Amino acid sequence: MLHETMCAERQRLEREIVSLQARLKELPEGKRVCVRNGCYTKWYRSDGHDSVYIPKREKAFAEQLAVKKYLQMRLKELLQEQRAIDFYLRHHNSDAGYAEHLLSENSLYSELLSPYFTPESQELQKWMAQPYESNPAYPEQRIHKTSAGIFVRSKSEALIAMLLYMNKIPFRYECALSLGNVTVFPDFTIRHPHTGQFFYWEHFGMMDSSVYAKNAFSKLQLYTEHGIVPSIQLLTTYETKEHPLDSAAAENLIKSYFL
């Protein structure tokens, strides 16, 4: 998952770098040099050899050169970050993810490993294995197979499922839940491994879409109206294209609620 996070971060950096380079082309030639003269500051425009004084009446021009200096420094920092990510990607282990593969049902090690990743409570094991009404909408979107042997709709949901499974947290994916006259399908319906208490986890993965965000807030309001309150019985995580799900944050959330 770190590899995917780094790839997403590199894409974000590339977009910002292109944007900065375009803005820099619109700014005037030369660079601004500031010199302190007693209690005052004097502005100069330099071409690398000669400096020309900028009078106070041309403050707007001096501001443009100051913006140019800031953007150039920011661009330098982004390029350094990009080079660091490129170094990581070049040396990334292509076998990453093999450990999780050992947990899959087709693995030769599945029979030996599964007892270490299933809930200790037989009642909760039975609850997980029982058939349930799941979300019938767009089944073709369930393309990501998880170590728990189920298919989910996104890589972020696959990460959450893996973390729940590895920590012996019993769960169901998109299990029907009646809230008054409305039936919803929480991403994850979870039972506390020791108390059996019900919790729900919604991952909102496209919060940079205004329509999606509006629907997400309406869904949170519906939960709250029926006594399922965020940060109490309802776990929530959020994601945008530039800010993918943080695996460490998701794991810390599981630890704080269940371990």
* 240-22-47 Cα angle (round to 5): 140
Its pTM stands at: 0.62
CA distance 65 to 67: 5
Residue 220: HSE in the Cβ half-sphere, 13 Å Cα cutoff: 17
In our burial notation (b when 16+ CB lie closer than 10 A, e otherwise), range 10-21 reads bebbeebbeebe
Q: How far apart are CA 96 and CA 2, in angstroms?
A: 10
* pLDDT by residue, tens only, the chain of 259 residues: 567 777 888 888 999 999 999 999 998 888 767 887 777 788 888 877 788 888 888 888 888 888 888 898 999 999 999 998 888 888 776 555 566 666 666 666 766 766 666 777 889 989 998 999 999 999 999 998 887 788 999 989 999 998 999 899 999 999 999 999 999 999 999 999 999 999 999 999 999 999 999 999 999 999 999 999 999 999 999 999 888 898 889 999 999 999 8
Ordered by start, the domain boundaries in the chain are 2-90, 110-258
Reading the block at residue 30, the tokens are: 């030369």
Specify the 3-state DSSP secondary structure of 221: helix
Q: Could you say which of 3.30.310, 3.40.1350, 3.30.70, 1.10.3470 is the CATH number of the domain covering 110-258?
A: 3.40.1350
Q: What is the pLDDT of residues 93-121, one digit of tens each?
A: 655 556 666 666 666 676 676 666 677 78
